[in-house]
Amino acid sequence: DEIKIGDILRILPGESVPVDGEIIQGSSSLDQSIMTGESLPIDKEIGDEVFCGTMNLYGAIDIKATSLGENSSLQKLIDLVKAADEKQAPTQRIADKWATWLVPVALFIAIAAWLFTGNIERGVTVLVVFCPCALILATPTAIMAAIGQATKYGVLIKSGEALETLGGLNTLVFDKTGTLTYGNLAVSDIISLKDDLDEMDVLKIVASCEKLSEHPLAKAIVEKAKEAEIDIEDPLDFKMYPGKGVSCKNSFGHVYAGNSKFLSENNLDVNVDSQLNQLKHEGKASIIIALNGEIIGLIGLSDVIREDSKDMIQDLHDLGTETILLTGDNTETANYFASQVGIGKVYGNLLPQEKLAWIEKLKSEGKKVCMIGDGVNDAPALKTADVSVAMGSVGSDVAIEAADIALLGDDIGKIPYLKKLSNSTLFTIKANIIISMTINAVAIVCSVLGLLNPVTGAIVHNAGSCLVVLNAALLYDRKFDDSIKKIDTENVEHSHYHFHNDGEHSHSHDGIKIIDEIKTDNGIKHMHIHKHALNRQSCETYHN
């Protein structure tokens, strides 16, 4: 509250940027994933803009505050989520469409039977058999069974409406970082430019120089060297150049590692454009390594694609579903990752409001849209989509709260399973409605003809209700995909899922979380999650 526009703030490594501003001193690398979803840190120097809520990773920077409070980029993002929530139209349940005319018809037939036959018992029997108990049970019993099964497989479905809507979707929109990928940097390429140095030599040289650096790229390089069981020596005369690179001396000689601008500033001839362009085309960050005044190699780093992303996209295509990638990463990076998993339509360099605009555009074209994401920047789009899915482990609290469904184990491969489950649930609901209406119709005719009395009518009526419940119960243990495994409960003592929604109630004792949530017409108001394991207890509470 004490910060004013024009104030100068110093942001140290590891600190969040408190306001939107412009760098006036220093340089660094910032994690902007909260705002843009970009997987790689972004180098910033004097004159560059920084956003509220982003993380300073490397060097100290001085910024001049340019916008505060409700005018900040983070507050605008929050406002987008609120606006999207207010625009969301309530979903009409399948059974509700039938129930609107059921009671008037029942009364009309009962009165008509009494008047035409002169026997009030027949009119009463019509009312008994026409009581819509089976119809009322048609939807919630199927929803309860489906939610129970989903919980067994590590999928949290917050509302029955989301499950019903999911079956009618024809377009799935994905975020990239943390959704199709793990959101963690890893070394993908080691390129040696010297005949007398192999890839492991290059890795050992650069790992020694990066050993004392806190930069995410440096940590990924050191981790790769440890995986390769390389003995990483301590560097001498180590120096960091924020936003540029590092230099040191080790047993090999004098080492520089960083971007092309950094090496050029140190009078090194950087003639590796073809290799740099290839790495850039593949959406990878690159570090150039120089030893004793000569370029010896490059390191490529990239976000890692989830193993099941490609198969999941193919399964969705087989189900007749269109897939689209919306990401804050640059278009070249987005196109490369999309080609790796099989997504045809790609839109990159998108801010949160632009993702939201794309979702609205798709809906205006008559498409039923599901958005799948994990970050704060995805929250407005998640709220706007017909149905939304968030990654439950790596996802932000804001994204999880905004979404209708959460994947507790971040298993993106369960998306086709969810669609199959929804399709089967809709089929079961419709079958239940047909069963209940058929039994009612036959019973009404028998009641009017005097073949049933109130007692036998009640028996027939309850038999119909039992059939509906039994049919719905079959959903709970139905197998939709042999590759989908139940969540690991080996180290879990107890778990329980508790679900309230418009008079519905369901629970499951299989899973890794205890969830208590209250859902009103305005959405999730309170969701309480407990995790119980053998040597661990934790509690998370989300409020809307």
Taking a C-beta distance cutoff of 8 angstroms, is the pair 126, 444 a contact? yes
- Which pLDDT belongs to residue 481? 63
**Would you state the pLDDT for residue 532?**
36
- Comparing CA positions, the residue from 404, 463, 458 lying closest to residue 85 is 404
For residue 542, the surrounding DSSP H or E stretch is strand 536-543
3-state helix, strand, coil in the chain (%, to 5): 45, 25, 30
In 3-state terms, what secondary structure has residue 521? Answer: coil
CATH of region 184-303: 3.40.1110.10
Q: Which residue has the tokens 């008079």?
A: 503
Topology (CATH level 3) of domain 8-71: 2.70.150
Tell me what pLDDT residue 1 has.
Answer: 63
> Of the listed 175, 201, 404, 411, which one is catalytic?
175
Pairing status of strand 322-326 against strand 171-174: parallel
The burial class, CB within 10 Å (0-12 / 13-18 / 19+), for 249 is middle
Nearest to residue 484, comparing CAs of 431, 417, 402? 417
Residue type for position 15: E
What do you get for the CA distance between the two ends of the chain, in Å?
24
Instruction: Give the whole-angstrom CA distance, residue 218 versus residue 329.
Output: 21
Q: Sign of the CA dihedral 459, 462, 466, 471?
A: positive
Tell me the C-alpha to C-alpha distance, in Å, between residue 257 and each of 56, 127, 260: 21, 83, 9
CATH 2.70.150.10 residue spans of the chain: 8-71
Q: What is the pairing mode between strands 236-241 and 514-520?
A: unpaired
Find, among 288, 115, 306, the residue nearest to 205 by Cα.
288
DSSP states of 265-319: HTT-----HHHHHHHHHTT-EEEEEEETTEEEEEEEEEEEEPTTHHHHHHHHHHT
| 431 contact partners, CB below 8 Å, separation of at least 6 | 471
Question: Which DSSP letter does residue 102 get?
Answer: H
The first and second tokens of residue 302, run together, are 């990239």
Closest CA to 22 of 42, 38, 8, 37: 8
Give bridge partners of residue 390 from the DSSP assignment.
Answer: 373, 406
Which residue spans of the chain are classified as CATH 3.40.1110.10? 184-303
Q: What is the residue-level pLDDT of the chain in tens, covering all 544 positions? A: 678 888 999 998 888 888 889 999 988 888 887 777 666 778 888 898 888 888 888 778 999 998 887 777 777 776 766 665 555 544 445 566 666 677 777 778 778 878 787 788 878 887 787 777 777 788 888 888 888 888 888 888 887 888 888 888 899 999 888 889 888 889 999 999 998 899 999 999 999 999 988 788 899 999 999 999 999 999 999 998 877 889 999 989 999 999 888 899 888 888 888 888 888 888 888 999 999 999 999 999 988 888 889 999 999 999 899 999 998 888 888 898 999 999 989 998 888 888 989 999 999 999 999 999 887 778 888 888 999 898 876 556 677 777 888 888 778 888 888 888 988 888 888 888 888 888 878 888 888 888 888 888 888 878 888 888 898 888 888 777 655 555 554 444 333 333 344 433 433 333 333 333 333 333 333 333 333 333 333 333 333 3
Q: Please tell me the distance from the alpha carbon of residue 385 to that of residue 39, in angstroms, as a whole number.
A: 23
500, two tokens: 């309230």
Residues 487 and 511: beta-carbon distance below 8 Å: yes
Q: Would you call 175 a catalytic residue per the annotation?
A: yes
Distance CA 320, CA 393 (A): 29
DSSP 415-432: HHHHHHHHHHHHHHHHHH
